[in-house]
Chains A and B, each alone.
Chain A
Protein backbone atom coordinates (compact mmCIF):
# COMPACT_ATOMS: atom_id res chain seq x y z
CA UNK A 1 0.00 0.00 0.00
CA UNK A 2 1.24 3.45 -0.91
CA UNK A 3 1.64 5.68 2.06
CA UNK A 4 1.94 9.43 2.20
CA UNK A 5 2.41 10.42 5.80
CA UNK A 6 1.97 13.92 7.16
CA UNK A 7 3.55 13.93 10.58
CA UNK A 8 1.32 16.57 12.16
CA UNK A 9 -2.45 16.28 11.85
CA UNK A 10 -3.41 19.28 13.99
CA UNK A 11 -1.29 22.31 14.82
CA UNK A 12 -1.97 25.63 16.49
CA UNK A 13 0.68 28.29 15.97
CA UNK A 14 1.01 31.96 16.80
CA UNK A 15 1.25 34.75 14.25
CA UNK A 16 4.87 35.26 13.23
CA UNK A 17 6.03 31.76 14.18
CA UNK A 18 8.00 29.63 11.73
CA UNK A 19 6.05 26.50 10.88
CA UNK A 20 7.30 23.25 9.36
CA UNK A 21 4.93 20.73 7.82
CA UNK A 22 6.60 17.42 7.04
CA UNK A 23 5.57 14.85 4.46
CA UNK A 24 7.09 11.45 3.73
CA UNK A 25 6.18 8.98 0.97
CA UNK A 26 7.29 5.38 0.73
CA UNK A 27 6.86 4.66 -3.00
CA UNK A 28 9.98 6.25 -4.50
CA UNK A 29 7.77 8.75 -6.36
CA UNK A 30 9.49 11.49 -8.34
CA UNK A 31 6.68 14.02 -7.94
CA UNK A 32 5.64 15.56 -4.65
CA UNK A 33 3.10 18.32 -4.11
CA UNK A 34 1.77 20.64 -1.43
CA UNK A 35 -1.80 21.92 -1.64
CA UNK A 36 -3.95 23.92 0.68
CA UNK A 37 -7.67 23.21 0.88
CA UNK A 38 -10.21 25.88 1.80
CA UNK A 39 -14.02 25.68 1.60
CA UNK A 40 -15.30 26.88 -1.75
CA UNK A 41 -11.80 27.22 -3.19
CA UNK A 42 -10.92 23.57 -3.68
CA UNK A 43 -7.31 22.47 -3.59
CA UNK A 44 -4.81 25.11 -4.57
CA UNK A 45 -1.27 24.18 -5.50
CA UNK A 46 1.43 25.84 -3.41
CA UNK A 47 4.63 24.15 -4.60
CA UNK A 48 5.62 20.97 -6.36
CA UNK A 49 8.86 19.08 -6.83
CA UNK A 50 10.08 16.51 -9.33
CA UNK A 51 13.44 15.61 -7.81
CA UNK A 52 15.69 16.19 -4.84
CA UNK A 53 16.47 19.89 -4.45
CA UNK A 54 14.20 20.75 -7.39
CA UNK A 55 11.03 22.76 -6.87
CA UNK A 56 8.49 24.69 -8.87
CA UNK A 57 6.05 27.35 -7.72
CA UNK A 58 2.41 26.49 -7.88
CA UNK A 59 -0.45 28.95 -8.04
CA UNK A 60 -0.19 30.40 -4.52
CA UNK A 61 3.48 30.24 -3.37
CA UNK A 62 3.53 33.58 -1.56
CA UNK A 63 4.35 33.20 2.12
CA UNK A 64 5.58 29.62 1.70
CA UNK A 65 8.80 27.83 0.86
CA UNK A 66 9.66 24.15 0.47
CA UNK A 67 12.56 21.82 0.96
CA UNK A 68 13.30 18.48 -0.64
CA UNK A 69 16.63 17.20 0.63
CA UNK A 70 15.71 13.53 0.21
CA UNK A 71 13.51 11.95 -2.45
CA UNK A 72 10.97 10.64 0.03
CA UNK A 73 10.59 13.83 2.07
CA UNK A 74 9.00 17.14 1.10
CA UNK A 75 8.64 19.89 3.69
CA UNK A 76 6.44 22.97 3.57
CA UNK A 77 7.73 25.98 5.50
CA UNK A 78 5.79 29.02 6.60
CA UNK A 79 8.53 31.51 7.40
CA UNK A 80 6.26 33.81 9.41
CA UNK A 81 2.79 32.37 9.92
CA UNK A 82 -0.18 34.65 9.43
CA UNK A 83 -3.86 34.14 10.24
CA UNK A 84 -4.75 33.91 6.55
CA UNK A 85 -2.65 30.77 6.37
CA UNK A 86 -5.09 28.96 8.64
CA UNK A 87 -6.12 26.04 6.44
CA UNK A 88 -5.84 22.34 5.77
CA UNK A 89 -2.62 21.41 4.03
CA UNK A 90 -2.40 18.32 1.87
CA UNK A 91 0.76 16.63 0.68
CA UNK A 92 0.70 14.30 -2.31
CA UNK A 93 3.09 12.22 -4.39
CA UNK A 94 3.09 10.38 -7.70
CA UNK A 95 5.04 8.92 -10.56
CA UNK A 96 4.61 10.72 -13.89
CA UNK A 97 0.88 11.50 -14.16
CA UNK A 98 0.85 11.68 -17.96
CA UNK A 99 1.71 7.99 -18.05
CA UNK A 100 -1.52 7.18 -16.26
CA UNK A 101 -0.14 7.04 -12.74
CA UNK A 102 -2.12 7.99 -9.67
CA UNK A 103 -1.44 10.82 -7.28
CA UNK A 104 -1.68 9.77 -3.64
CA UNK A 105 -2.61 12.15 -0.85
CA UNK A 106 -1.81 12.24 2.81
CA UNK A 107 -4.61 12.74 5.31
CA UNK A 108 -3.92 16.43 5.75
CA UNK A 109 -2.53 18.78 8.36
CA UNK A 110 -4.97 21.20 9.94
CA UNK A 111 -3.13 24.41 10.78
CA UNK A 112 -4.66 27.16 12.89
CA UNK A 113 -2.73 30.42 13.22
CA UNK A 114 -3.86 32.61 16.11
Chain B
Protein backbone atom coordinates (compact mmCIF):
# COMPACT_ATOMS: atom_id res chain seq x y z
CA UNK B 1 0.00 0.00 0.00
CA UNK B 2 2.97 2.28 0.42
CA UNK B 3 4.41 1.49 -2.99
CA UNK B 4 4.90 3.92 -5.81
CA UNK B 5 4.81 2.24 -9.22
CA UNK B 6 6.80 3.87 -11.98
CA UNK B 7 6.90 3.24 -15.73
CA UNK B 8 8.56 2.84 -18.13
CA UNK B 9 11.82 1.43 -16.84
CA UNK B 10 13.69 3.01 -19.75
CA UNK B 11 12.85 5.58 -22.38
CA UNK B 12 14.58 6.64 -25.57
CA UNK B 13 13.57 9.98 -27.06
CA UNK B 14 14.87 12.03 -29.92
CA UNK B 15 16.11 15.56 -29.26
CA UNK B 16 13.19 17.97 -29.30
CA UNK B 17 10.65 15.27 -28.45
CA UNK B 18 8.43 14.90 -25.37
CA UNK B 19 9.46 12.49 -22.61
CA UNK B 20 6.65 11.16 -20.42
CA UNK B 21 7.13 9.15 -17.24
CA UNK B 22 4.19 7.84 -15.24
CA UNK B 23 3.71 6.97 -11.59
CA UNK B 24 0.84 5.54 -9.56
CA UNK B 25 0.24 5.15 -5.85
CA UNK B 26 -2.33 3.51 -3.58
CA UNK B 27 -2.10 5.22 -0.21
CA UNK B 28 -4.19 8.41 0.00
CA UNK B 29 -2.12 9.55 2.98
CA UNK B 30 0.62 10.68 0.61
CA UNK B 31 0.61 14.48 0.53
CA UNK B 32 3.67 15.53 -1.43
CA UNK B 33 4.89 14.23 -4.79
CA UNK B 34 8.40 15.18 -5.91
CA UNK B 35 10.41 14.13 -8.94
CA UNK B 36 14.16 13.61 -8.74
CA UNK B 37 16.83 13.59 -11.42
CA UNK B 38 19.99 11.57 -10.97
CA UNK B 39 23.14 11.68 -13.08
CA UNK B 40 25.68 8.83 -12.93
CA UNK B 41 27.86 8.97 -9.82
CA UNK B 42 25.69 11.60 -8.14
CA UNK B 43 22.91 11.60 -5.60
CA UNK B 44 19.35 12.41 -6.77
CA UNK B 45 18.44 16.10 -6.95
CA UNK B 46 14.96 17.60 -6.74
CA UNK B 47 13.56 18.52 -10.13
CA UNK B 48 9.98 19.58 -9.45
CA UNK B 49 7.29 18.74 -6.89
CA UNK B 50 3.52 18.99 -6.53
CA UNK B 51 0.88 18.80 -3.80
CA UNK B 52 -2.40 16.88 -4.30
CA UNK B 53 -4.52 20.05 -4.27
CA UNK B 54 -3.00 21.13 -7.60
CA UNK B 55 -3.57 19.33 -10.92
CA UNK B 56 -0.55 20.66 -12.78
CA UNK B 57 2.74 22.38 -12.09
CA UNK B 58 5.13 23.70 -14.70
CA UNK B 59 8.73 24.78 -14.32
CA UNK B 60 10.44 25.58 -17.57
CA UNK B 61 10.37 22.49 -19.80
CA UNK B 62 9.24 20.24 -16.93
CA UNK B 63 5.58 19.70 -16.04
CA UNK B 64 3.93 17.48 -13.45
CA UNK B 65 0.36 16.41 -14.14
CA UNK B 66 -1.52 15.11 -11.11
CA UNK B 67 -4.77 13.10 -11.15
CA UNK B 68 -5.94 12.71 -7.56
CA UNK B 69 -8.97 10.53 -8.32
CA UNK B 70 -6.89 8.10 -10.37
CA UNK B 71 -3.98 8.28 -7.91
CA UNK B 72 -1.57 8.90 -10.75
CA UNK B 73 0.98 11.55 -11.58
CA UNK B 74 3.34 12.03 -14.46
CA UNK B 75 6.37 14.02 -15.54
CA UNK B 76 6.47 15.59 -18.97
CA UNK B 77 9.74 16.90 -20.37
CA UNK B 78 9.10 19.13 -23.35
CA UNK B 79 11.73 19.75 -26.03
CA UNK B 80 13.92 17.00 -24.55
CA UNK B 81 17.67 17.64 -24.76
CA UNK B 82 20.68 15.30 -24.61
CA UNK B 83 21.57 16.96 -21.28
CA UNK B 84 18.29 15.59 -19.87
CA UNK B 85 19.67 12.06 -20.20
CA UNK B 86 19.56 10.78 -16.63
CA UNK B 87 17.56 8.53 -14.34
CA UNK B 88 14.31 10.01 -13.07
CA UNK B 89 12.55 8.94 -9.89
CA UNK B 90 9.06 9.82 -8.77
CA UNK B 91 8.39 9.80 -5.06
CA UNK B 92 5.60 10.27 -2.56
CA UNK B 93 5.75 11.48 1.01
CA UNK B 94 3.47 11.10 4.01
CA UNK B 95 3.64 12.22 7.61
CA UNK B 96 4.63 9.51 10.07
CA UNK B 97 4.37 10.61 13.70
CA UNK B 98 6.32 13.90 13.58
CA UNK B 99 8.40 13.19 10.53
CA UNK B 100 8.08 12.44 6.80
CA UNK B 101 8.44 9.12 5.09
CA UNK B 102 9.51 9.50 1.46
CA UNK B 103 8.98 6.49 -0.82
CA UNK B 104 10.51 6.28 -4.30
CA UNK B 105 9.50 4.64 -7.53
CA UNK B 106 11.87 2.23 -9.25
CA UNK B 107 13.28 4.82 -11.66
CA UNK B 108 13.25 5.54 -15.40
CA UNK B 109 16.43 5.76 -17.39
CA UNK B 110 15.96 8.44 -20.03
CA UNK B 111 18.24 8.67 -23.06
CA UNK B 112 17.84 11.61 -25.41
CA UNK B 113 19.58 11.23 -28.76
CA UNK B 114 20.58 14.17 -30.97
Query: Are A and B bound to each other?
Result: yes
Chain A contacts to B: CB under 8 angstroms:
4, 30-31, 33, 35, 40-45, 48-51, 56, 58-59, 90, 92, 94, 96-98, 100, 102-103, 105-108
Does B106 contact A56, Cβ atoms closer than 8 Å?
A: no
A-B pairs with CB below 8 Å: how many?
Answer: 75
In the complex with contacts A40-B106, A59-B103, A107-B43 CB distance below 8 A: yes
Q: How large is the interface on B (under 10, 10 to 19, 20 to 34, 35 or more residues)?
A: 20 to 34
Chain B contacts to A: CB under 8 angstroms:
2, 6, 9, 31-32, 34, 41-46, 49, 51, 89, 93, 95-107
B contact patch SS: strand
Cβ of B96 to closest chain A Cβ, rounded Å: 6
Indicate which residue in A43, A45, A96 contacts B101 across the interface (CB closer than 8 Å). Answer: A45
Question: A106–B101 Cα gap in the complex (Å)?
Answer: 18
Does A108 contact B105, Cβ atoms closer than 8 Å?
A: no
A contact patch SS: strand
Question: A108–B39 Cα gap in the complex (Å)?
Answer: 12
Other A-B contacts than A30-B99, A97-B32, 15 sampled, CB-CB below 8 A, are A4-B43, A40-B106, A42-B6, A50-B98, A56-B96, A56-B97, A59-B103, A97-B100, A97-B102, A98-B95, A100-B51, A103-B34, A105-B43, A107-B41, A107-B43
Does B43 contact A58, Cβ atoms closer than 8 Å?
A: no
